Structure 1
Amino acid sequence: MQSLFDQVCSETSGDMDPEAFRHYGHLIVDWIAGYLSDIRSYPVLSQSTPGSICQALPRQAPVQPEAMETILADFGRVLLPGITHWNSAGFMGYFGLTGSGPSILAEMLDASLNVTRMLWRTSPAATELEQVTLDWLRQMLGLPEPLFGMLHHNSAILTALAAAREALNLQIRQRGMAGRREVARLRVYASQEAHSSVEKAMIALGLGLEGLCKIKTDQEFRLDVEALEEAINEDLARGWRPCAVVATVGTTSTTSIDPVPQIAALCQRYKLWLHVDAAYAGVAAIVPSKRWVLAGCEQADSLTVNPHKWLFTSFGCSVLFTRRPEIVKETFSLTPAYLQNADRAPDLMDYDLFLPHRIPALKLWMVMRYFGQEGLAARIEEHCRLARLLALWVDNTPDMERLAPVNLSVVCFRIHPPGIDDELTLELLNERVMNRVNAAGHFFLSHSKIRGKFILRIAIGNIRTTERDVRGIWEAILAARQAEVCLLRTNRAGNQFGIKRKINLP
């Protein structure tokens, strides 16, 4: 009997037969549904070794067509073991990314339409849906009108700082910076806890890492406003040209929230562009009792919020809001003859460095409609409750030490047994506990360093994470702690623990 593949491939050209597409589409959707319902059975952190996937794949591309059955089998055999399952309820490292059901379905529709949101006319629905959806989000967050919003694949810091530079009226768009002695070196300010994307933007914009001034933080890891003003005045005296300040609402390591109202007042006084990075924490303002996280952000020139971090929308959905869209357009608008048109509608490509976008608003629109504001707020609030519960367990455990406030849904702590105060020893102990938990496959947690101290960091943000999962990772940490502290005390006399940094776990 002929296989479906043989029947379809009797054609010498053309796409997959619609009936074959329907058949395999049903198979894939069924697999996705089963995967999501049974995701706890997969090891959260991939168990692959470097190079193993490359070795399992052919060195050359296929010359002849291959059956979809073969391709899908290789997906399961070769690729799936190399996946770290960010969609897992046990993924509690970094900031989790959740592809919720409506978001996954929207991605399928988006891929099927396969349009590009450049000009309004290249797909009117893509542009207008984005305008409507982001205004819905603005209202949910309690931000005032008017705010212009558009979607980016990831962080929009490059766009924001390019606009800040253009706002200085130095004609950099036209004349550049190289060789212009009349243009002072530009300076951008951010806290020591700001995301590394700020540094990458400085590199890309030609401002250089030396152009970024990192400001010290207070006891709660928030930008020190007095130190910021001192740095600005020192730079002015030395001939620098202050350009912008990046404030962070929800820093990566500790989710600290910079004092945006005071920073905004300072920026107004010195005529500096204020960009607020609220990529993770901004969506918490959907919860009415947490509107305070965006206090002062209405005064920012630009603001980033990432629904793909904590609004259950799959990756590639970062929002840039700005009060000064005309500056952004002046920075990036460049329309070649073949794209010029007389449509009386906004062309979102004029506000962005990158041209190709699909319909990024589609998945956010579907998520917002499916869960509703109350449903989204309830899920975010539950994650915050779970973080507070975990923090309580940490605080009540004698040899555990919490090292940062729990502002939202991230808990930073370390194991600190009595009598062990050497920082290198503590770092190795906590690293080994983390590696032991992660190697077991049920959970994944990540680490960071704050003020030179190695910390364990649990971020609760996946839509599938429940109290059962949080209790599970806590019990796994306690068990790993007991095992590693025993090893430490056994080996301490011979100083083996500090020397053998890498050891195969039993």
Structure 2
Amino acid sequence: MFKDTEARSSEDQQLTAIISDRLSRVKSGPASVTINYDQFIRDLAGFDFSEPRSLQAVGEFVSDATAFGSVPMTHPRYFGLFNPAPSYASEWGDRIAAAFNPQLAVWSHAPAPVDIEAHTVTALARRIGFADGAGGHFTSGGSEANETAVLCALTRADPRFATEGARSLTGEPALYVSRESHLAWLKIAHRLGIGRRAVRLVETDGTGRMCPSALQDAIDADLNEGAIPVFVASTAGTTNAGMIDPMIEVGEIAAQRGIWHHVDAAWGGALVASAELRLALEGMERADSVTVDAHKWFATTMGAGIFLCRTPKILSEVFRVSADYMPSNDTTRDPYVTSALWSRRFIGIRLFMNLAVTAWSGYARHVERAVTLIDRLRISLQASGWTIANDSPMAILNVIPPPDLGSPADIVARTQTHGGAWVSLASIERKPTVRICITNGQTDEADIDALHEILCLPGEPIGNI
């Protein structure tokens, strides 16, 4: 189980060779799952754990299973949901964190890693436009960050919530999110004990953005019924179409009513890197809190969410706890008393390394390049008779094919069967579209042109494939 330095060095080289080989084969192969699944299940069943196997043999098995038994996120022609190919620097970060395995629950156990994370959070908060004094922390992902925002909102609405929970509220709490938002909000409401009914799905304006007047009407209706409006979330980059809610108007409504305004910028938050593109995020800097996922457009490895808050003092009210086996509970620097996680890995190392190696200017080129590539595809598909269904400043395109090519579902099925690229089906305002998203920093013009050719291939309707 444990290796000396010489053995580690040798086997590290073996692992690097295995990963390099699989990455190369993924890039040159189909943009789809290619594993022989029946054979995989038979091989997996053979692991009864009664006898040890060599580390290299097990590493080969797991590498094959991961590389070829998953939709290949590292393929430059994967144009699917925003699970990007990670940067090499963030892979280094993951490896360093795994090797030294620091425990970031308290500052005294890992002062340098805790400070690196805090430094990175502060840099991102400034980039967003928050004033000095803003703070936050890294999370397991966007759902945890969004849940933290709801907890902050409930605690501010009635401080008794911290000890009495939903029983402290004099009416049913109401959370407002766009109908086009990521519906993890329903799971959050369930987990927090306020019930899924607390989530109000606000109508959109016909383009996929939250409608401010519909939000105002929903709040007024709830007040008339005795409910307590607690929280509203703007989405900066909807999953389906990359649409950005009108954050200024939503924020003004929230401020007038004393409602916590959160921005779910899990994907679109990366636009802050670009002086030009960040204009689409105007109003986010006025929000009470923001979610960003570094493992999306910031291109780190998976599981790196960030919660940012203009008034971070509330976090100690939400997560306060004391235990005699903990060396301290300093709310100014011990993460376990200002965040949901207790035991916590060194999550922030990946974004820190990316920013240190790439700088904001490098990230600006990264997001701007993706937007330029999607513009290239937009122009070529329009010229081929396709209809553009979204108007997003992000690197995403929703399109409807000309009638002779079939339905969006036909196109997606044919493309995924073809294997030359991977796209998905998504609805905008209840209309099905082909969803195409640039997720890989190595996707280039040749990949875009190849996708265009694949999308325009004639073929059988989905029922005949």
The answer as to 2:368 corresponding to 1:381 is: yes
**Counterpart among 161, 170, 173 of residue 172 in structure 1:** 161
Structure 1 residue 333 corresponds to structure 2 residue 320: yes
Equivalent residue number for residue 409 of structure 2? 431
Contact 1:142 1:291 in 2 (8 A): no
Please point out which of 272, 275, 278 is paired with 1:291. 278
- Rounded Cα–Cα distance in structure 1 between residues aligned with 2:344 and 2:329: 21
Query: Who is 1:157 aligned against?
Result: 146
More displaced 10-residue stretch of structure 1: 307-316 or 40-49: 40-49
Q: Distance in 1 between matches of 2:450 and 2:91?
A: 27
What SS is found at the alignment partner of 1:439? helix
Deviation at residue 406 of structure 1 after TM alignment? 3.3
Per the TM alignment, residue 38 of structure 1 is displaced from its structure 2 partner at its CA by 5.0
- Asked if the contact 2:77–2:422 (Cα under 8 Å) also holds between the matched residues in 1, the reply is yes
SS of 1:327 mapped into structure 2: helix
Displacement of 1:159: 0.8
1:135 pairs, out of 122, 125, 136, with: 122
Q: CA deviation at 1:35?
A: 4.0
User: CA separation in 1, counterparts of 2:29 and 2:434?
Assistant: 23
Bigger mean CA offset, 63-72 vs 279-288: 63-72
Q: CA deviation at 1:345?
A: 5.1
State the partner residue of 2:397: 411
Which one-letter code corresponds to 1:433 in the other structure?
I
Whether 1:227 and 2:203 are equivalent positions in the alignment is no
SS of the residue corresponding to residue 201 of structure 1 reads helix
Pair 1:213 & 2:200 matched: yes
Give the equivalent residue in structure 1 for 2:388: 402
**Separation of aligned partners in 1, 2:219 and 2:443:** 44
Change (3 A) 1:169 1:56: same
2:189 corresponding residue in structure 1: 202
Distance 1:96 1:79, change over 3 A: closer
Map Cα deviations across residues 418-454 of structure 1 (whole Å, 9 max, x no partner). Answer: 7x9xxxxx6xx32222122112223111111122221
1:41 aligns with 2:28: yes
The equivalent residue for 1:453 is 431
For residues 145-191 of structure 1, the C-alpha deviation after alignment (integer angstroms, 9 at most, x for no partner) is 2320211110111111011111112512211235x6x6211000011
Match of 2:5 among 12, 18, 26: 18
Q: After the TM superposition, which of the residue ranges 377-386 and 448-457 deviates more from structure 2?
A: 448-457
Deviation at 1:51, TM superposition (A): 6.3
Alignment-mate amino acid for residue 388 of structure 1 = D
Distance 2:5 2:313 in 1: 46
Describe the superposition over 1:333-358 as per-residue Cα deviations: whole angstroms up to 9, x where unpaired: 21211114276951111122222221
| Structure 2 counterpart of 1:483 | 459
2-structure distance, mates of 1:406, 1:324: 30
Return the alpha-carbon distance in structure 2 between the equivalents of residues 102 and 387 of structure 1: 25
Does the alignment pair 1:366 with 2:344?
A: no
Instruction: Using the TM superposition, name which of 388-397 and 259-268 deviates more.
Output: 388-397
Report if aligned partners of 1:191, 1:215 keep a CA contact under 8 Å in 2.
Answer: yes
Which residue matches 1:100?
87
Deviations 1:278-328 (A, max 9, x none): 111111121001221321112211101112111121111111110121222
Secondary structure of the equivalent of 2:193? coil
Classify 1:355/1:391 alpha carbon distance in 2 versus 1 (closer, same or farther; 3 Å): same
Residue of structure 2 in register with 1:188 after alignment: 175
Alpha carbons 2:277, 2:393 under 8 Å: kept: no
- Output the CA distance in 2 between the equivalents of 1:79 and 1:324: 41
Q: What secondary structure sits across from 2:210 in the alignment? A: coil
Gaps of 5+ in 1: 1-13, 421-425, 489-500
- Give the Cα–Cα distance (whole angstroms) in 1 for the partners of residues 389 and 330 of structure 2: 55
Task: Please tell me whether the aligned partners of residues 90 and 442 of structure 1 are also in contact (alpha carbons under 8 angstroms).
Answer: yes
**Cα offsets for 1:90-138 (capped at 9, x unmatched):** 1110113221111111111110011121110121112100111122223
**1:464 and 2:442 aligned:** yes
Structure 2's unaligned 5+ residue stretches are none
Matched, 1:115 2:102: yes
What is the distance in 1 between the residues matched to 2:222 and 2:36? 48
- Between the aligned partners of 1:275 and 1:120, the Cα distance in structure 2 is 28
CA distance in 2, matches of 1:338, 1:324: 29
Asked if structure 2 preserves the Cα contact closer than 8 Å seen for 1:391 and 1:406, the reply is no
Q: CA deviation at 1:410?
A: 0.2
Between stretches 297-306 and 166-175, larger displacement belongs to: 166-175
* Counterpart Cα distance in 2 of 1:32 and 1:366: 21
Q: 1:29 to 1:73 in 2, by over 3 A?
A: closer
Mark the structure with the bigger radius of gyration: 1
Asked whether 1:63 is paired with 2:39, we answer no
Q: Which residue of 417, 420, 433 corresponds with 1:442?
A: 420
Deviation per CA, 1:52-72: give whole Å up to 9, x if none. Answer: 533321365322322123223
| 8 Å CA contact 1:142, 1:285 repeated in 2 | no
Letter in 2 for 1:202: A
Query: What amino acid is aligned across from residue 403 of structure 1 in structure 2?
Result: A
The reply on whether 1:83 has 2:70 as its aligned counterpart is yes
The amino acid that maps onto 1:379 is H
Equivalent residue for 1:3? Answer: none
Q: Which stretch of the first structure deviates more once superposed, 365-374 or 142-151? A: 142-151
Quote the Cα distance in structure 2 between the aligned partners of 1:164 and 1:77.
45
One of 219, 238, 248 as aligned partner of 2:235: 248
3-state secondary structure, aligned to 2:300: coil
The answer on 1:124 being equivalent to 2:111 is yes
SS of residue paired to 2:413 = helix
For residue 407 of structure 1, give the secondary structure of its aligned residue in structure 2.
coil
In 2: Cα distance, 1:81 partner to 1:290 partner? 36
Deviates more, 1:31-40 or 1:153-162: 31-40
Which residue does the alignment assign to 1:5?
Answer: none
> Residues of 1 paired with 2:17 and 2:452: CA distance?
33
Query: Cα offset for 1:37?
Result: 4.8
Closer/same/farther in 2, CA of residues 435 and 52 from structure 1, 3 Å limit: farther
Which position in structure 2 is the counterpart of 1:307? 294
Over 3 Å counting, the alpha-carbon distance change for 1:148 and 1:397 in structure 2 is: same
Determine if contact 1:97/1:312 at 8 Å carries over to the other structure.
Answer: yes
Q: TM-score, normalised by structure 2?
A: 0.94
Identity of aligned residues (%): 24
1:435-478 per-position Cα deviation (integer Å, ceiling 9, x unaligned): 22112223111111122221111101211111111111111111
Cα separation, partners in 2 of 1:234 and 1:344, compared to 1, 3 Å = closer
After superposition, give the CA deviation of every residue in 1:257-279 in whole Å (9 maximum; x if it has no partner): 11111111111110000110011
How large is the Cα RMSD of the aligned pairs? Answer: 2.1
Q: Assess if the C-alpha contact under 8 Å between 2:330 and 2:337 holds in 1.
A: no
